[in-house]
Every structure is written in structure tokens, then in C-alpha cells.
Amino acid sequence: MCLAVPGRVMTVEDDTEPLSGVVDFGGVHKRVCLEYVPHVRAGEYVIVHVGFALQRLDEESARASLRLFEELGLLEEEFGDAWGRAARESGLSPDSGSEEGDR
């Protein structure tokens, strides 16, 4: 399933063509095309669908949507398990070296 997911703009790269930046989706950072929201600034929230920021969003609405998506398991479905992926990429098993409370 492809969702339009709210995220917080971390960086805007004004010198790229097309305009792009990094957006934080609850701890998962992705490079996103910002051409459709050219006046967006770092710290603002946007709705992103298939790598394109489509519109700005107020922080309260973005956070409420992210909480709901997380409760429904949609963020993991869309982005995967970031902790598990990082552990696998480092050569560790997802559970080695950490306890449940450390996550």
C-alpha cells in the first residue's frame, strides 16, 4: 500500500534540480522531491506520496497522523523496521546487544 505520509522537513537543498531535501518520518529519513512546495523550510511539515512532497501541513495534524499510522502499523509497513534493518546492515541480529527497554 502506498500512503501519503506526513513528515518533518530536515533539510532543503536549494541548489538541486529538481528541488529536494531530507524529510523525517518518525525517525526514518528519506530524500524527497520538494518541487511542488518550493517555499517550504526546514522544520515545517509536508505530506509525501511516492517521494514527492505534495503540500505543507500544520504540526498538530502531522503528529496526529503519524501517531495514528504508527498505532495501525502502517509506518512499519511503508518503511519497514528501521531498527532491524540497521542491525542487519551492521551485521548484527536485530535482538543482539540491546534489551527491549533500550529501543
What pLDDT digit, counting tens, does each position of 31-61 carry?
999 999 999 999 999 999 999 999 999 999 9
Q: Are 40 and 12 in contact (CB under 8 A)?
A: yes
Is 21 inside any structural domain?
yes
Which residues have a Cβ under 8 Å from the Cβ of 53 and sit 6 or more positions away?
9, 23, 32, 33, 34, 36, 37, 40, 46, 47
The count of structural domains within the chain is 1
CATH of the domain at 93: 2.30.30.140
Host domain of residue 50? 4-98
Is 83 inside any structural domain?
yes
Overall pTM > 0.85: no
Is 36 inside any structural domain?
yes
Residue 103 has pLDDT above 50, yes or no: no
Is 15 inside any structural domain?
yes
Is 25 inside any structural domain?
yes
Is 103 inside any structural domain?
no
